[in-house]
Amino acid sequence: MEKKKTGQKASRPRWMTECDVIRYNLKIPEKLKEKLKKEALNSGMDMSSYVCGILAGEVRRKGKR
């Protein structure tokens, strides 16, 4: 059975605000949070900009491959 569609607009990506990033930071494990802080400092960015960049795909993290 198909879902009924209401007259709503199709969802599309939205820009993350700094508040969104702060809420996201609170949900990350402490070890990962420390790792991201170090990576952000090495990149010359603050934590929220770095996390936004990762989530938006603008920043690539180096990982084990």
Burial code (b: 16+ CB inside 10 Å, e: under 16) for 47-60 equals bbbbbbbeeeeebe
Question: What are the tokens at 52?
Answer: 């936004």
pLDDT tens-digit profile of 18-56? 777 666 666 788 898 899 899 999 999 888 888 888 877
Q: What is the reported pTM?
A: 0.59
